[in-house]
């Protein structure tokens, strides 16, 4: 017996892209570093805030790749001459990915007090109503059926 995947189910036409997004989200990783918040600023505006203590703006990169927001951080190697008795501030590279819904765009990014803020905006498309004209089809005649 063949098992159908979510996107290939016959009643879900055109949802194969949704299946890819769900799979990509599951693979994005579940580690909690760096910690982050997602907040609704208004009905169509959102903000992702990542705690990036110790990172400079030059250490961070933000890209959008195929509807996926990817934040990468990599600190320079300037700690080689320092001797730590205790090191509680994480200084490791990271990558965080967030899948963006259709119509959600990155409005900007800023750094403030050790937090990286990424502002998102949902662009609400105008509602388009399309009327489909129903044409009359010629009924099949008995002599056309056997052809």
- State the number of CA atoms in the 13 A half-sphere of 52 facing the CB: 26
Supply the pLDDT for residue 24: 64
**Which stretches of 64-112 are DSSP H helices?**
none
Supply the pLDDT for residue 37: 94
Supply the pLDDT for residue 6: 57
Spell out the per-residue pLDDT of the chain, length 147, in tens: 555 565 566 666 666 666 766 666 556 556 788 999 999 999 999 999 999 988 999 999 999 988 899 999 997 766 678 888 998 877 789 999 998 988 899 999 999 999 999 999 999 888 899 999 998 877 666 665 655
Radius of gyration of the chain (CA): 25
Supply the pLDDT for residue 16: 67
pTM of the model: 0.66
For each of the domains in the chain, give its residue range(s) and CATH number, in order of start: 32-124 (2.60.40.790)
Supply the pLDDT for residue 94: 92
Contact 42/107 with Cβ under 8 angstroms? no
Supply the pLDDT for residue 125: 81
Assigned token pair, 9: 């189910």
User: What letters, b where the CB count within 10 A reaches 16 and e where it falls short, cover 29-45?
Assistant: eeeeebebeeeeeeeee
């Amino acid at each position: 017996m063949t098992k159908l995947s979510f996107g290939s189910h016959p009643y879900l036409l055109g949802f194969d892209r949704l299946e890819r997004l769900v799979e990509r989200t599951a693979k994005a990783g579940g580690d909690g570093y760096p910690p982050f918040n997602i907040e609704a600023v208004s009905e169509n505006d959102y903000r992702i805030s990542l705690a990036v203590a110790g990172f400079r703006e030059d250490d961070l990169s933000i890209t959008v790749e195929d509807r996926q927001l990817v934040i990468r951080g990599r600190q320079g190697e300037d700690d080689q001459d320092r001797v730590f008795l205790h090191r509680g501030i994480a200084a490791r590279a990271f990558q965080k990915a967030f899948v963006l819904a259709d119509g959600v765009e990155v409005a900007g990014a800023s750094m403030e007090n050790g937090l990286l803020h990424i502002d998102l905006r949902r662009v609400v498309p105008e509602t388009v109503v399309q009327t489909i004209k129903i044409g009359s089809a010629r009924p099949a005649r008995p002599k056309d059926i056997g052809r």
